[in-house]
Structure 1
Amino acid sequence: MKGLFNKIAQSVLIAAVTLLFLGGLATTGHAADDSLKTVEDKGTLVVATSPDYPPYEFQATVHGKSKVIGMDMDVMKKVAKDLGVKLEIKSMNFDSLLVAIQTGKADVAVGGINPTAERRQSVDFSDIYYLGGQSFLINKTDAGKYKNRSDLKGLKIGAQTGTLQYNLAKQKIPGAQVKGMDKSTDLVLALKTHKIDALGIETPSAEAYVKNDKSLAMINSGYKLDKNEVGAAIAAKKGSDALINAMNKSVATINKDNLTDQYLADAGKYMKVNTQNTTMWHYSNYFVTGVEYTLLISAVSVVIGVLLGTLLALMRFSKNKLLHGLAVAYIEFVRGTPLMVQVMFVYFGIGIIVNIPALLSGIIAVSLNSGAYVAEIIRSGIDSVAKGQTEAASSLGLSKGDTMRFVILPQAIRNIWPALGNEFISLIKESSIVSIIGVTDLIYQTNIVRADTYRGVMPIFITMLIYFVITFLLTRVLNHYEGKMKHAR
């Protein structure tokens, strides 16, 4: 009977979450076209982008501050200026850009986005503001072997997940083994370490890498494509005709005056600045910022996770079937779904109804996830306390609450301290997943440094050392208190 009740409770929880998400979609699917008015009323145009794709968008230090710049950003500055509003930039993974505008996290999205027929089914696009063409990056040592697309038959081809280049490689290179990754920096590293043989990429980005990395070369793709699908355009939520029409006026001016040539030239200047000094010390501020956010997320999530885990553990011991069932359902559901999915659901799914900032979304998701694991650790600790302790406390006249507080939990904490410590350490490392929604934690900053410096391995090595130092120091602290607990016995 208890097992049946638990299954019912879990089903109810899953159904409620699903309805919440679908309900949010329903409420946003039939709204009148107030897209332009909404932007004008709030005075900002929020643009989502993935700043790891020079020269389209990347980060650089401008007047002592890290900023997202590039051709796309100049295009959006022109659009925002013509609309009479301020430009606000939200950074996230490329494959989250269209989701961001569908769920209201951003008004528009840019990132060298090609307005393919498949994408037009989900979002609207402005007119094309730039035609860059398609190329392949290869290792310079392979330049003699790979001279055109036909030489890539049956080889391992890399492309950013969710991009036109990924689909083209699958469709137009016979026998190709296409490997997709979220970050172009990861793909370039995979190319340089011979995990892939070639990388499908926009021509301007290929040129940028070749100019800044002497170990790389490029070849033309030779694709014959519809110009209406392969150029770069601005994406907006489906039905945003008013906003699209307004932006198209700016795009028309950009195309008429060939402003993208100037935008690319400006981007090139900053790219040269980025590569003048590619030492990791020069980019130390990026790593420091990443550490600050990582520690903040981890510290807050540890506190909330312990409090929530303790509550859930006590609910599991409750004789109240409803409380017990809810605790079991929550723990099983959270432990049965990936943290990455939970982070994206909190930010994008619940964000349909309540607009939660990326940092807060990350903290909430990591905290809720940690709570489920801490609950099981605490439960096992409570179970490890001999029943005679409860009987002894009862014979002394202690209430159940006092028994749990003064007798059971203190002994349980001593028993579970090593496991709890491992959870804290794991949480610090697992919190890196929040980078997918644009939280500037250590992993996010590492990817920015890799994109800016065109150095694939060294930023990763520095990040590994930083994580090791953090976890090593935390381990020493935890061991110190574990020793004190043993001595207290």
Structure 2
Amino acid sequence: MILDILLSSYPLFLKASWLTLKLTAVALLLGCGVGLIIAFFRISSSKVLNYIAHIYITVIRGTPLIVQIAILYFGISNLVTLSQFWAGAIALAVHNGAYIAEIFRGAIQSIDRGQMEASRSLGMSYPLAMRRIVLPQAFRRAIPSLGNQFIIGLKDSSLVAYVGMQDLWGTGLSEAASNYRQLETYMVVGLYYLVMITIFTYFVNRLEGRLATGRAPKKQAKDNSVAA
């Protein structure tokens, strides 16, 4: 029964779930850094930087994640001695960075160009105007898409099990091989993933709601001024 596996193996699965969450958090944090850099390459006037970003995004989006993890994992391990955790996190960061780059690029380009021009006319440098004026608004607009990508990243992290890491899915594979109850074990693993993603989705929705609430008074004030 599923309940038997839940009760007998929960310490093992809780530990594996914590490892999965840490791996996902580190990978997505690194992926955001990579994505932001590639997004700047994409909107840069430099053809070389645009070409580099285009090739990177094309290769990542055009090849399976499991292939990327295997190539990056074994490639990194041949060059530098890294733990499975860090090798897996870097591989996932490289993958997620391509998708996060497009999210950031779209969010940055959605900001009215007049705001950058007005900032430059006030004496701000381009980097300063980008940091103080454009990026805060772009991050706000990117929150829904980033939330979806983070959820996808959490589920995709299960693929590191195939390079030997004992995350939640890797632990589930090991348990199923030892107890010969594959269906029930996999359903328990799915339940753990469902709980984690449901909790994360709740917090993302709360964050979106707070950001939307923060914009409401300004809109209302503008409507009142027009009515007056």
5+ long unaligned stretches in structure 2: 216-228
Cα–Cα, structure 1 residues 330 and 454, in superposed 2: closer, same or farther, change >3 Å?
Answer: same
Does the alignment pair 1:452 with 2:178? Answer: yes
Give me the whole-angstrom Cα distance separating, in 1, the residues matched to 2:17 and 2:39. 31
Q: What TM-score comes out, normalization by structure 1 length?
A: 0.42
Counterpart of 2:209 (choices 458, 479, 483) is 483
2:196 alignment counterpart? 470
Contact 2:16-2:168 within 8 A present in 1 as well: yes
Could you say which structure has the greater relative contact order, defined with CA pairs below 8 angstroms and 6 or more residues apart?
Answer: 2
Consecutive aligned runs of 4 or more in structure 1 exceeding 6 Å deviation: none
Alignment of 1:24-35 (within 5 A): none
Q: What TM-score comes out, normalization by structure 2 length?
A: 0.87
Give me the whole-angstrom Cα distance separating, in 1, the residues matched to 2:5 and 2:75. 40
Contact 1:381-1:413 within 8 A present in 2 as well: yes
Q: Secondary structure at the match of 2:6?
A: coil
Alignment of 1:197-236 (within 5 A): none
2:5 alignment counterpart? 279
Cα–Cα, structure 1 residues 304 and 350, in superposed 2: closer, same or farther, change >3 Å?
Answer: closer
Contact 2:5-2:184 within 8 A present in 1 as well: no
2:28 alignment counterpart? 302
Give me the whole-angstrom Cα distance separating, in 1, the residues matched to 2:14 and 2:121. 56
1:440 alignment counterpart? 166
Deviation of 1:393 after TM superposition, in Å, equals 1.9
Does the alignment pair 1:345 with 2:71? Answer: yes
Deviation of 1:344 after TM superposition, in Å, equals 0.8
Alignment of 1:365-376 (within 5 A): 365-376=91-102
Give me the whole-angstrom Cα distance separating, in 2, the residues matched to 1:362 and 1:350. 10
Cα–Cα, structure 1 residues 448 and 352, in superposed 2: closer, same or farther, change >3 Å?
Answer: same
1:336 alignment counterpart? 62
Deviation of 1:465 after TM superposition, in Å, equals 1.4
Structure with higher helix content: 2
2:114 alignment counterpart? 388
Contact 1:289-1:440 within 8 A present in 2 as well: no
Larger Rg: 1
Q: Secondary structure at the match of 1:283?
A: helix
Alignment of 1:11-22 (within 5 A): none
Contact 1:378-1:413 within 8 A present in 2 as well: yes
Contact 1:310-1:374 within 8 A present in 2 as well: yes
Contact 2:76-2:87 within 8 A present in 1 as well: no
Percent identity of paired positions between Structure 1 and Structure 2: 37
Deviation of 1:362 after TM superposition, in Å, equals 0.8
Contact 1:417-1:482 within 8 A present in 2 as well: yes
Contact 1:286-1:449 within 8 A present in 2 as well: no
Q: Deviations over 1:157-186 (max 9, x none)?
A: xxxxxxxxxxxxxxxxxxxxxxxxxxxxxx
Structure with higher strand content: 1
Counterpart of 1:312 (choices 12, 19, 38) is 38
Counterpart of 2:131 (choices 380, 401, 405) is 405
Give me the whole-angstrom Cα distance separating, in 2, the residues matched to 1:475 and 1:450. 28
2:83 alignment counterpart? 357
Give me the whole-angstrom Cα distance separating, in 2, the residues matched to 1:350 and 1:287. 28
Give me the whole-angstrom Cα distance separating, in 1, the residues matched to 2:187 and 2:34. 35
Q: Deviations over 1:310-341 (max 9, x none)?
A: 11111222222222222222122122221111
Contact 1:347-1:356 within 8 A present in 2 as well: no
Give me the whole-angstrom Cα distance separating, in 2, the residues matched to 1:478 and 1:369. 22
Give me the whole-angstrom Cα distance separating, in 2, the residues matched to 1:413 and 1:307. 13
Give me the whole-angstrom Cα distance separating, in 2, the residues matched to 1:373 and 1:395. 33
Q: Secondary structure at the match of 1:397?
A: coil
Give me the whole-angstrom Cα distance separating, in 1, the residues matched to 2:150 and 2:5. 32
Deviation of 1:348 after TM superposition, in Å, equals 2.1
Give me the whole-angstrom Cα distance separating, in 1, the residues matched to 2:120 and 2:110. 18
Give me the whole-angstrom Cα distance separating, in 1, the residues matched to 2:78 and 2:187. 38
Equivalent pairs counted in the alignment come to 212
